[in-house]
Amino acid sequence: MYIPKKFEQKDHKQLLDVIRQYPFATLITQKGAENGIEAMHLPVIIRGDEHSLRLQGHIAKANPLWKTTDTEKEAMLIFHGPHHYISPNHYPTKKEHGRAVPTWNYVTVHVKGRLRFEHDAKWLQQLIHDLTKEQERHEPNPWTVADAPQAYIDKMLPAIVGIELVVESLQGQWKLSQNQPEPNQTGVIDALEAFEHSTARDVAAMMKQAQRGQE
């Protein structure tokens, strides 16, 4: 991923925070016997620490990905944080000289590593338990795996295959108007905060965080 220096994010905690907050990832894998790549979309959960980081999820067993992927080759998970269109009208300097063009502000994390597939029932049940607990944490009455009959869970588990990416590198790009002068950054933040939808406000919040990091 090409990352201009101004937009590069190296803070390990912030990278992991985006993965936790936006866990629905795009998985890019390389085929074995055949040439080409595959793309899948799935939620994942973080395991381990920065010294032994792993990302886990699952796919349907009917999906041939676990048979065709070359696990000796590098795989990638892509996480998209908040993003939003940025109009030149948000820049105060545009009124002065007109030299402005549209752009897009966004946050993204690329995680590279080696992939493995897991079929063990206990491993899969623990994964489902933890994934569910993570996503149900904001519900007023969280659902748990224990709410379903164990016989039903035992029947469902063979229909999925676990995925684990052993992380070898993380890259983050926080493109949040850092290349603009402070008045333009403030103009973008004010404009995004005025929108009703949460995505715009999330970008504004991350821009404020980036501004504090520049101080």
Segment 15-44 mean pLDDT: 93
Residue 32 has pLDDT above 80, yes or no: no
pLDDT single digits (tens) 131-190:
999 999 999 999 999 999 999 999 999 999 999 999 999 999 999 999 999 999 999 999
Cα distance between residue 210 and residue 215, in whole Å: 9
Label the pairing between strands 103-118 and 74-86. antiparallel
Angstrom distances, CA of residue 32 to CA of 5, 57, 71, 79, 129? 35, 21, 8, 24, 31
Residue 117 has pLDDT above 90, yes or no: yes
Least confident segment among 68-82, 88-102, 139-153, 177-191: 88-102
C-alpha angle 143-145-148 in degrees, rounded to nearest 5? 90
Segment 100-110 mean pLDDT: 96
Least confident segment among 11-20, 25-34, 69-78, 100-109: 25-34
| Cα four-point dihedral sign 118, 123, 124, 127 | negative
For residue 94, what pLDDT is reported? Answer: 80
User: In a 10 Å sphere around its CB, with 0-12 CB exposed, 13-18 middle and 19+ buried, how is residue 77 labelled?
Assistant: buried
User: CB under 8 Å to 31, separation ≥6 — which residues?
Assistant: 37, 38, 68, 69, 70
Cα distance between residue 17 and residue 138, in whole Å: 17
pLDDT single digits (tens) 200-215:
999 999 999 988 776 6
Query: What is the pTM (predicted TM-score) of this model?
Result: 0.92
For residue 215, what pLDDT is reported? Answer: 60
- Residue from 110, 81, 105 nearest 23 by CA: 81
SS3 32: coil
For residue 212, what pLDDT is reported? Answer: 79
C-alpha angle 15-18-21 in degrees, rounded to nearest 5? 150
Report the amino acid identity of residue 169. S
For residue 87, what pLDDT is reported? Answer: 96
Written as six digits, the tokens of 213 are 């990091």
Q: How confident is the model at residue 96 (pLDDT cuts 50, 70, 90)?
A: confident
For residue 214, what pLDDT is reported? Answer: 65
For residue 126, what pLDDT is reported? Answer: 96
> How is the chain split among helix, strand and coil, in percent rounded to 5?
40, 35, 25
Provide the CB-side half-sphere exposure for 1 (13 A, CA).
23
SS3 3: coil
Residue indicated by tokens 């009208």: 89
